[in-house]
Amino acid sequence: MRFVLLIYSNQASWEALSEQERIALGNGHAALFDSLVESGELVTGAGLAQTAATRTVRVRGGQRSVIDGPYAEVKEHLAGFYVVDCDGPDRAAEIAARIPDASITGVEVRPVMVASWPDQ
């Protein structure tokens, strides 16, 4: 089964980290990434740019609008993700618990739906 592990962050928690803690966080991600590659469970993963670089696109009545910033005004934002292919939700939760950010904010584990598109 495939799962997306959504990593959430917020500016306050990031600013509260020391330089050494930020480096340790990065090293933790590198070690986890390597471990998941070795186990064959990693599909993909990436960190995301700061919300200041975000744009939200909406189409209403056939008209496109683009605004700066994330979709919702929230304190936490999506900071990155991993997509893993593993045995089930318990294993996905085990992997999520190994993501360094889980000890600071939170990691959401969500199954990836298998889309069945009609032939065109």
Reading the chain (120 residues) residue by residue, the pLDDT tens digits are 999 999 988 878 888 999 999 999 999 999 999 999 999 999 999 998 877 788 888 899 999 998 887 666 666 788 899 999 999 999 999 999 999 999 888 899 999 987 766 665
The model's pTM is: 0.83
Q: Residue with structure tokens 């990691």?
A: 107
- The DSSP result for 16-80, as a single string, is TS-HHHHHHHHHHHHHHHHHHHHHT-EEEEEE---GGG-EEEEEETTEEEEEES-SS--SEEEEE
Domains of the chain: 2-111 (3.30.70.1060)
Q: Residue with structure tokens 């294993």?
A: 91
User: What is the distance between the alpha carbons of residues 9 and 77, in angstroms, rounded to a whole number?
Assistant: 6
| Phi, psi angle pair for 42, to nearest 5° | -80, 125
